[in-house]
Amino acid sequence: MGSQVLLIILLALAFAGFIGGALAYTRPPPRETLFFSLDDPTTPQQVHVSTAGPNNVRVSWITNLTAPSTINYGTSPGAYVSTAQGNSTSYSYQSYQSGLIHHTVIGPLQPSTVYYYQCSNDDSRSFNFTTPPAQFPLNLIVIGDLGQTGWTQSTLQHIAETSYDMLLLPGDLSYADYDEPRWDSFGVLVEPLASQRPWMVTPGNHDVEKEVPPAKFTAYNARWQMPYAESGSDSNLFYSFNVAGVHVVMLCSYTDFDQGSDQYAWLQNDLQSVNRQVTPWLFVLVHAPWYNSNYAHQGEKESVDMMQSMEPLLYQYQADIVFAGHVHAYERFTRVYDGQADNCGPVYINIGDGGNREGLATDYMDPQPSISLFREASFGHGELNIMNGTSALWTWHRNQDDEPVTADSVWLTSLSAYPCSN
């Protein structure tokens, strides 16, 4: 009898410990900042791909030596039946001199197709990427504030195990600030993924050079060329594109955004041109969040003033989701407009938890605002499975003990699917 009582007590304690562990998840500390060197600096390196207008892909890479901006490609390994020629650039910053940065657009390409390619006629390395689908379903990965740490590696490993079509990054890529070699390190780090699927990015505050002489986004603009010209923008810092049935708008928190600015005028024209019959979903990405119940980055003009300027536009054209980074934590809001729950407003999701070197922002406002539905200071990444023109499943995966644990999940309905009313 005594042994039975003891067993019951032990089981009860074990169960209580399990429940307590589930409720009291210990937030992980920052991990070491990493630096990735080139295995062979003479060959094409830091390869990544992005969309470049309908049915086209831009391939970007760097060579330390003079080399042609040529891409040879085809749909079978080693059978490069097509060739495209691009251009190259370089830049210097203080004592740093970049290699040759090549950008070459290839296409037209078929959707949902694997293409094999080589850069600069170099036979020593070969790559492949898969084009996004032309129709739903579409699977997007969303990560912000990625950086180059042990947690970054964990996040990228989880993404590599996912079947996805495109990656969206709302700012703070390399955390180089003004340490230019860290851009090279970042290119090496992300190449295994970024050379296989389109990476669509917008800049954050850690992508700005901060030292004298003053320069803004010198490295970012040279290395990560996005389809701005294809979308009618005159700046690589803000642009848009279509993928399957989604229109994606990428905005910049760190260039002018008031109602007299080029960015505002471009955004207004871009939103006016969206056909929700063709692209029933409308997503917007920006670095500094407009809604945030974390104490980190409260009251910054890039959040407050930009929201005041542009929020009415997004509401007018019924944006479905606004993704942001900057705050090193995860938070999901209900549909919001002008600080209040509103069925016609966007869902706001802050996802600045990719793996930055500064650690997590753990200090939240208490009580939790009613418009904030889920918040947690953990590293992780998001996945958006868009099933059709009406329904999408959003999932946030926490990096718990290096395992991608599903911590938040919600079904969303496009605002274009029903008459919007409050």
For residues 63 and 44, what is the distance between their CA atoms, to the nearest angstrom? Answer: 5
For residues 94 and 90, what is the distance between their CA atoms, to the nearest angstrom? Answer: 14
List 102, 247, 287, 297, catalytic entry: 297
Two tokens, residue 363: 């200090």
Tens digit of each residue's pLDDT, the chain (422 residues)? 444 433 333 333 333 332 222 334 455 666 788 888 877 777 899 999 999 999 999 999 999 999 999 999 999 999 999 999 999 999 999 899 999 999 999 999 999 999 999 999 999 999 999 999 999 999 999 999 999 999 999 999 999 999 999 999 999 999 998 899 999 999 999 999 999 999 999 999 999 987 656 568 999 999 999 999 999 999 999 999 999 999 999 999 999 999 999 999 999 999 999 999 999 999 999 999 999 999 999 999 999 999 999 999 999 999 999 999 999 999 999 999 999 999 999 999 999 999 998 889 999 999 999 999 999 999 999 999 999 999 999 999 998 766 778 899 999 999 999 888 65
Q: Which residues contact 53 (CB under 8 A, 6 or more apart)?
A: 105, 107, 227, 230, 241
Half-sphere exposure of 322 (CA within 13 A, CB side): 28
Active site residue 297: yes
Q: Are strands 166-170 and 138-142 parallel, antiparallel or unpaired?
A: parallel
Q: Which of 100, 90, 89 is nearest to 63 (CA)?
A: 100
Instruction: Evaluate whether 74 touches 124 at the Cβ level (below 8 Å).
Output: no
